[in-house]
Structure 1
Amino acid sequence: MPGRSRVAGYGRKLLLCLQQRNFGRRVSNYPFSYKISWPVRFLKPSLGGAKGFMPAHGEFLPVVGKGVRLAFVGDISAEANRRAPICDADLAALLASADLIVGNCESPVVRQPSARLGTRIGTHHAMTREFLSAALEATGIARDRLVLSLANNHVLDQGVEGYEETRATLDALGIATVGTDTIIARMAVGPLTIGLVAFTQWRNAGAADFSGRVAMVEDFFAASRGGLQGVTDIDLVCAVPHWDWEFRHFPRPQTRVWARRLAGLGVGLVAGHHAHVVQPVERIGETLVAYGLGDFLGTAFVRQPWPGRIGAVLVVDVSADHSTRGRVASYRMVPFMRLREGDREHLVPLAKVAGRLGAKARERWAVVYGAGQSSLTN
């Protein structure tokens, strides 16, 4: 638990975050119990919940011919960074090895924030085009191999104008986006065609503002009531949901119900966001579900408690062989930690984090993933 003075500082900021979640107004869609538990769980993420999930890595079938490698990263924001992060060379090399990388754009990309006070105190997110470009370069992520989801609660933090500017800026950078509707986007990735769809359970603004701009979970399931549309000749459908409650290491029952519904619809791979801590992996039939990847770049405060600074890169190898085309052949949850280095973060593989902090973080990882460990070397 942080020291007393740090807790006092957190308390002031957490109060502002509660205000951002419209504690007294029916604008956002967070339940009351979620709102009042948020500060406690931010300081001490919950380990309560169902156990018995998958280990941190697994192999389901051999890849005889050429396969495709997908990498999924967590929430991306500039909130904990004044400058672009530093990234360990091994982690950057892993990301560079992927044929396609998918992440969640947790901050609007704008020249100047319109919600100036909220942005200054951290309740409204924003990042510049320059920061995002430098962060991608530092982490080995090529723009032409990147897809960012805009289906999240913060995407309208800078208003409708900021949302439109974000879409235009990402398009100008050559970065593909999903999550603005329920249509499955088709991506040619090596010899395979990958389908991507994203939606969010949560919103920080009114329903009218999100409507027609951001796919909500109810939109997606309503649109797919008769089955997934437009999936002909798609080898693997991947869903990127922004779901569950923040700072809980294990998914809530409703989240797992949605995961089963996605599997029933034929989605073969699910990579979730929003919890800001790592969450476990489950296999439902042939569908691989990674409930939460944590943050890729810090979305909360600069001095966030250590459990929230553990993240994961989900690396998935997909078969392109004739008999198993489009099936997940293997997966790895590769853990890293975001360490402070002045006014920016340093992304370091968990195995390289020294001292008591590293020991605590690896112990937490083992609790979430059981005996299954994963690193850049296995």
Structure 2
Amino acid sequence: MKKVITFTLLVLLVCGLGLYFGKLASSPENQIVKVEEKQNPQIVEIEKEKEEIITTTASISAIGDILIHDRVYEPAQIGDEKYDFTPHLKNVQSLLNNADITIANQESMIGGTEIGLSTYPSFNSPYEVGDILKESGIDLVTIANNHTLDRGEKAIQSAISHWNKLGIPYTGAFLSEEDKKNIRTIEKNGIVFSFLAYTYGTNGIETPKGKPYLVNRIDEKNIKQEIEQANAISDVVVVSLHFGKEYERLPNEEQKQLAIKTANAGADIIIGHHPHVLQPMEWIEREDGKRSFVAYSLGNFFTGQTEDYKDIGGVLKLNVEKKLETGEIVLKEPSFVPTFVNEVYHVQPLEQLSGKEKLYEEIKKHMNQWVPELTFSFT
């Protein structure tokens, strides 16, 4: 009997303790304690990471002068007024397709065979030059240079007609004033790039009266105004300047001063052409606290010119980062892959050429002398 009473008391005691601790656990005070225990340091750190500014990145590449002499296009003829330039660029197509956007300076107008092909000093190139650029990944061409007016308005109209057919935007020369006012933009990964181009002159050929839109000339006031317009519709302004002196391997003071003024007007990236040889790159610290990147000359990319560094060009690449919350733009990780035009005018990466090791090292030293962080491969 005592055993039964003892067992009953034990059961009642256990049940009573269970009810007591159950109520204690369900009390508001203890609920708060449990919530507070869940807010451990790891969870707090995750919440902080969510609050950080999110960024997006796009890459842009640029190449130098494409100037097609008769010694380039004549061997490329494959039929009656038909040309094939595929062999000339096949070895660098992977480089040209490496970035989100790739732009080129098409120095000779691609007016086509209908108006007659021609070489130095008055150039007109086959349509197929544009075709191979399209095939190789070029997204936009600049056509403001000293050869823009070589064959007159008809060549410009014919060239632009073909660029339109290919779906490749152009800038620097236009069909009309309305065409000129339409600033070219390309959007990649939520970043909008705009493109402008200007030349120092046109080899003494005057622009037809009343048609200034046929070629953009370097005019500081006009450049500043158009950069302001471009900044209003884009995140990054890219300006191509056809300037400097031919075959000089360092920029002159006039180039440097114009680059500084262009940067302070709001240009983020400045691409130089015309010297036909490589000139170094540089960061420009702007008056607004930002910085711009300038490549004073990207040399010749695809051309009939050889020797004395005229057969060396390359592909410049920059990564552009945008902070989505603030819209702030940061240029970073500049890289450059030197290229070489061989005796049959095929373009190849300089690093891959046997016997050119010393030249390759010289070019690297030449190009990064003002930008030590410049690298020489694409990742």
TM-score by length of 1: 0.72
Q: 2-side partners of 1:350 and 1:77: how far apart?
A: 19
Q: 2-side partners of 1:182 and 1:248: how far apart?
A: 34
Distance 1:226 1:348, change over 3 A: closer
User: How far off is 1:75 after superposition?
Assistant: 1.1
User: How far off is 1:333 after superposition?
Assistant: 1.8
1:176 matched to 2:166: no
Write out per-residue CA displacement over residues 125-176 of structure 1, whole angstroms, 9 at most, x where no aligned residue: 1211123313543xx315xxx1111111111212211111111111111110
Q: 1-side partners of 2:181 and 2:242: how far apart?
A: 14
User: How far off is 1:182 after superposition?
Assistant: 7.1
Give unpaired runs (5+ residues) of structure 2. Answer: 1-52, 77-84, 174-179, 286-290
- Name whichever of 184-193 and 167-176 sits farther off: 184-193
Write out per-residue CA displacement over residues 298-347 of structure 1, whole angstroms, 9 at most, x where no aligned residue: 1x44xx21411111211011003335643212211221111123xxx222
Q: 1-side partners of 2:201 and 2:189: how far apart?
A: 34
Distance 1:369 1:113, change over 3 A: farther
Contact 1:319/1:327 (<8 A) preserved? yes
1:194 matched to 2:190: no
Q: 1-side partners of 2:230 and 2:354: how far apart?
A: 48
Distance 1:227 1:288, change over 3 A: closer
Contact 2:247/2:275 (<8 A) preserved? yes
User: How far off is 1:208 after superposition?
Assistant: 3.0
1:332 matched to 2:335: yes
What amino acid is aligned across from residue 168 of structure 2 in structure 1?
I
- Determine the structure 1 residue equivalent to 2:152: 159
- Determine the structure 2 residue equivalent to 1:5: none
1:76 matched to 2:66: yes
User: How far off is 1:245 after superposition?
Assistant: 0.7
Distance 1:227 1:334, change over 3 A: closer
Q: 2:122 aligns with which of 124, 129, 134?
A: 124
- Determine the structure 1 residue equivalent to 2:17: none
Q: 1-side partners of 2:108 and 2:227: how far apart?
A: 32
- Determine the structure 1 residue equivalent to 2:206: 207
Greater RCO structure (CA 8 Å; 6+ sep): 1
- Determine the structure 1 residue equivalent to 2:362: 363
TM-score by length of 2: 0.72
Contact 2:172/2:216 (<8 A) preserved? yes
Identity among equivalent positions (%) equals 22
User: How far off is 1:237 after superposition?
Assistant: 0.7
Q: 1-side partners of 2:363 and 2:162: how far apart?
A: 38
What amino acid is aligned across from residue 321 of structure 1 in structure 2?
K
User: How far off is 1:88 after superposition?
Assistant: 5.8
1:351 matched to 2:344: no
Q: 1-side partners of 2:234 and 2:133: how far apart?
A: 31
- Determine the structure 2 residue equivalent to 1:150: 143
Q: Which has the larger radius of gyration?
A: 2
User: How far off is 1:230 after superposition?
Assistant: 4.5
Contact 1:201/1:243 (<8 A) preserved? yes
Q: 1-side partners of 2:132 and 2:259: how far apart?
A: 34
Q: 2-side partners of 1:373 and 1:230: how far apart?
A: 28
Q: Displaced runs of 4+ in structure 1, greater than 6 A?
A: none
- Determine the structure 2 residue equivalent to 1:321: 323
- Determine the structure 1 residue equivalent to 2:228: 228
2:362 aligned counterpart, secondary structure: helix
Q: Within 5 Å, give how 1:213-362 maps onto structure 2.
A: 213-218=214-219, 221-222=221-222, 224=224, 228-285=228-285, 286-298=291-303, 300-301=304-305, 304-322=306-324, 323=326, 325-341=328-344, 345-355=345-355, 357-362=356-361
Q: 2-side partners of 1:64 and 1:369: how far apart?
A: 31
1:128 aligned counterpart, secondary structure: coil
Q: 1-side partners of 2:230 and 2:310: how far apart?
A: 37
- Determine the structure 2 residue equivalent to 1:106: 107
What RMSD, in angstroms, separates the aligned Cα atoms of the two structures? 2.6
Q: 1-side partners of 2:230 and 2:347: how far apart?
A: 38
2:229 aligned counterpart, secondary structure: coil
Contact 1:152/1:202 (<8 A) preserved? yes
- Determine the structure 2 residue equivalent to 1:12: none
Q: 2-side partners of 1:136 and 1:338: how far apart?
A: 20
What amino acid is aligned across from residue 307 of structure 1 in structure 2?
Y
User: How far off is 1:205 after superposition?
Assistant: 4.2
1:217 aligned counterpart, secondary structure: coil
What amino acid is aligned across from residue 314 of structure 2 in structure 1?
A
Contact 1:70/1:101 (<8 A) preserved? yes
2:216 aligned counterpart, secondary structure: coil
- Name whichever of 94-103 and 319-328 sits farther off: 319-328
Q: 2-side partners of 1:308 and 1:284: how far apart?
A: 26
Contact 1:115/1:157 (<8 A) preserved? no
Q: Within 5 Å, give how 1:4-23 maps onto structure 2.
A: none
User: How far off is 1:65 after superposition?
Assistant: 4.3
- Determine the structure 2 residue equivalent to 1:141: 137
2:245 aligned counterpart, secondary structure: coil
- Name whichever of 207-216 and 248-257 sits farther off: 207-216
Q: 2-side partners of 1:182 and 1:258: how far apart?
A: 23
What amino acid is aligned across from residue 151 of structure 1 in structure 2?
A
Q: 2-side partners of 1:94 and 1:368: how far apart?
A: 18
1:374 matched to 2:375: yes
